[in-house]
Amino acid sequence: MDFSFSRDEELFRESIRSFLSKRLSPIWESIDENQLIPIDIIRDLGSQGFFGIPIPEDYGGQGGTFTLAAIAAEEVAYHDPSMATAVYTLLNNAWPYILYLYGKESIRSSILPKVSSGVGFFGIASTEPQGGSDIASLKTSALRDGDYYRVYGEKIYVSGVREALEQLELGGWLLIARTGRIEDKHKGLTCFALIGKRDGRIISNLSYTKLNTIGRHGISTGILTLDGVEIHKDYVIGEENRGFYIAMEGFNLARPLVAAANIGAARWALEEVVKWSRERVLFDKPIASFQGVSFPLAELAVELEAARLLVYKTVWLADRIYIRREPGLKPVDLAFYAAASKMKAVETAYKIFETALKTLGALSYTKESKIHRGFLGILSYLVGAEGAQNIMRYIVARELIGKEYVK
């Protein structure tokens, strides 16, 4: 049993820390305040190998692992605790990998190198206005018409609409749509590579609206409206009517990266509040000397370490399944740990930011304090992004107790 990172992993962390401390740390507050990740930052992250990390080099990726992708997500969130840049990073590692696994060769080779280099974006478009967690009941329809599907419907809370459709050369999402009957539920869904913008032009019959979110302002969140969007049959990811299973596999890879990002932001917040507790003096003593301050911080440090170990155990398992392809392991084996890591990391991060706000007191209620930016960023994952926390509990319970008991 070895709890250490390899030499290559340590060198990777040191390298990206050096880059992020110079390039991202000085501007992360302005990213949140101005509600925009500058295009040069996205391209620099691409050139430094932050995207497409587990994708083979033949497709423009880094030929790395999910452990490296988690390290990247954690460090980006530490250096931009508003979470905006971390969200962009984790999306462009998890969902392009699903396209690599199940997309047609011509589509993989045309999309993945652009995403990995930072001139393209590929995220996830699954949630609909009637609800996000019940994917089996989604209503967006894809009707076959010769070599094309015509897609009608609406997706909401979609990350990266501005980046994909305004800022970058190419932008798209893994889109889940219904190709079977509504009564088929999860057995009638298909995944598509929806490329909303190619060569600087938005495709016909696709429109979008940006939402006003309360946090992680640097990355956009919006609504996609598809009014007969044409998608060629070659852009089907996997098999028709098998999209539910592919999407679940994607979420199982995205969730530990989400968890890693939350760990990074929480680590930053804990360091900030520890520093404050040493410097803030009341009754002629630093407030760190009061057990009412120091004991909660001690407890949270332990929770953070436990969460971090769970996160890295999850990506270690993902590497065994997907990168090393060890016999006897299959993608479904990741479900318990993916849900558990998101559940634990997000709630730990929330506790740390909440304690930081209380410890800083009135200062935390001003824009002069940075803490609120991280708090509002990680809050997006507490309330539901990449799966609501109670859905994580349901998955853990189902894997623990059995599908025949937990339905």
Mapped onto helix, strand or coil, the DSSP state of residue 157 is: strand
**CATH (domain of 26):** 1.10.540.10
Q: Do 313 and 367 belong to one domain?
A: yes
CA distance 320 to 324: 5
> Is 208 contained in some domain?
yes
User: How many domains in the chain?
Assistant: 3
Nearest to 32 by CA among 370, 386, 353: 370
Q: Do 11 and 93 belong to one domain?
A: yes
Split at pLDDT 50, 70, 90, the class of 221 is: very high
Write the DSSP string, 282-346: ETTEEGGGSHHHHHHHHHHHHHHHHHHHHHHHHHHHHIIIIIS--TT--GGGGHHHHHHHHHHHH
If one compares 185 and 353, the residue with the highest pLDDT of the two is: 353
Q: Do 230 and 300 belong to one domain?
A: no
Residue 203 is given by DSSP the state: P
CA dihedral 113, 115, 120, 121 (to 10 degrees): 150
Percent of the chain with pLDDT strictly greater than 90: 92
pLDDT digits (tens, 9 = 90+) for 86-97: 999 999 999 999
The domain in which residue 127 lies consists of 121-237
Split at pLDDT 50, 70, 90, the class of 407 is: confident
Cα end-to-end distance, the chain, whole Å: 35
> Is 395 contained in some domain?
yes
Looking at residue 97, its pLDDT comes to: 98
Q: Do 92 and 135 belong to one domain?
A: no
Q: Do 292 and 166 belong to one domain?
A: no
> Is 171 contained in some domain?
yes
- Looking at 120, 146, 162, the residue that finishes a domain is 120
Distances (CA, A) of 9 to 5, 46, 68: 6, 19, 7
pLDDT digits (tens, 9 = 90+) for 185-202: 889 999 999 999 988 899
Q: Do 319 and 187 belong to one domain?
A: no
Q: Which residues contact 303 (CB under 8 A, 6 or more apart)?
A: 348, 351, 352
- Looking at 65, 92, 120, the residue that finishes a domain is 120
Mapped onto helix, strand or coil, the DSSP state of residue 47 is: helix
Computed over every residue of the chain, the mean pLDDT equals 96
Q: Do 220 and 310 belong to one domain?
A: no
CA distance 125 to 224: 8
Q: The tokens 């559940």 sit on which residue?
A: 343
Q: Do 128 and 105 belong to one domain?
A: no
Q: Do 292 and 382 belong to one domain?
A: yes
Q: Do 125 and 228 belong to one domain?
A: yes
> Is 167 contained in some domain?
yes
CA distance 81 to 336: 27
**CATH (domain of 135):** 2.40.110.10
> Is 134 contained in some domain?
yes
Split at pLDDT 50, 70, 90, the class of 26 is: very high
- Looking at 205, 237, 269, the residue that finishes a domain is 237
pLDDT digits (tens, 9 = 90+) for 259-283: 999 999 999 999 999 999 999 999 9
Write the DSSP string, 80-111: -TTSHHHHHHHHHHHHHHHHHHHS-HHHHHHH
> Is 2 contained in some domain?
no
Split at pLDDT 50, 70, 90, the class of 133 is: confident
Q: Structure tokens of 161?
A: 């609409």
CA distance 27 to 59: 31
Q: Do 308 and 395 belong to one domain?
A: yes
pLDDT at 85 over 80: yes
Mapped onto helix, strand or coil, the DSSP state of residue 176 is: strand
Looking at residue 2, its pLDDT comes to: 85
Percent of the chain with pLDDT strictly greater than 70: 100
pLDDT digits (tens, 9 = 90+) for 159-187: 999 999 999 999 999 999 999 988 888 89
> Is 407 contained in some domain?
no
CA distance 257 to 173: 18
Phi, psi of 10 (to 5 degrees): -65, -40
Split at pLDDT 50, 70, 90, the class of 130 is: confident
Looking at residue 242, its pLDDT comes to: 95
Split at pLDDT 50, 70, 90, the class of 384 is: confident
Q: Structure tokens of 284?
A: 């002629």
Distances (CA, A) of 190 to 126, 210, 255, 400: 11, 26, 21, 28
pLDDT at 131 over 80: no
Mapped onto helix, strand or coil, the DSSP state of residue 206 is: strand
Nearest to 246 by CA among 190, 306, 313: 190
Looking at residue 297, its pLDDT comes to: 98
Q: Do 248 and 374 belong to one domain?
A: yes
pLDDT at 152 over 90: yes
> Is 192 contained in some domain?
yes
The helix (run of H) or strand (run of E) holding residue 266 is: helix 243-279
